Amino acid sequence: MLYSRFTTQDVIGYLKAYYTTYGKHPSKSKWRVYALERQLPSYSTIETMFGGWRKALFAAEIPCNSCNPCATAHERAKEANKVCGKRGHRWKGGRRRNQDGYIIIYNPDWRTNGRRKYQFEHRLVMEQSVGRMLESDELVHHVNGIKDDNRPENLTILSRKTHYGNVCCPHCQKSFLIK
């Protein structure tokens, strides 16, 4: 371990002082300027002492920008007096296409792990047509292969085992290959 004239408690105090002054944790460049002005330990010294910058912030009980409730996109938009969500000028009804070509729909009450608020439209359509929630091992297959064609007659439920390879459509009995 490198010798340092600063103890971990000193560093924790300096980090807390920065946080109370500026209301957010310091970035590497901001800390460099702040530390040089006040003759405080460098960023690399703090990383060495704690085994990483985030560990130092955790030890000082400073929330990172992603954990800080004031740093969420919604709060930043409020602070800038911008409108977000349904009242925003870019709102298109909560329906959009993801990078894989599937249609996803905004649903804030959707029952997943709490992070995602978008639900695949083909799963929603199939749940409504079947009248129950789909199990996690059930996949919804587009019969014609077009990912944004979410008509109930184009969708079928398959298990994970039978989704890839030769599949027989339960409706028309036509066999096709899925890759």
Tokens of 137: 């091992």
Question: Are residues 77 and 101 part of one domain?
Answer: no
Same domain, 56 and 133: no
Identify the pLDDT of residue 19. 84
Give the total number of structural domains in the chain: 2
140 touches 156 (CB < 8 A): yes
Boundary-marking domain end, from 91, 109, 138: 91
Angle between helices 43-50 and 28-38 (to 10 degrees): 110
Q: Name the average pLDDT for the chain.
A: 77
Of 63, 91, 119, the residue at which a domain comes to its end is 91
Asked whether residue 106 falls in the same domain as residue 163, the answer is yes
Directed axis angle between helix 43-50 and helix 8-22, to 10°? 120
Does one domain contain both 116 and 53?
no
Q: Is the same domain home to 4 and 69? A: yes
Q: Same domain, yes or no, for 131 and 74? A: no
Whole-model pTM: value is 0.45
List the one residue out of 138, 135, 175, 133 whose CA is nearest residue 156. 138
Note whether 135 and 62 are same-domain residues.
no
Containing domain of residue 128, as a range?
A: 96-178
Tell me the pairing of strands 118-120 and 138-142: unpaired
Is the pLDDT at 66 greater than 60, yes or no? no
Q: Is there a single domain that holds both residue 79 and residue 4?
A: yes
Q: Tell me, what's the pLDDT at 178?
A: 60
Which residues, in sequence order, are bridge partners of residue 119? 105
Does the pLDDT value for residue 67 go beyond 50? yes
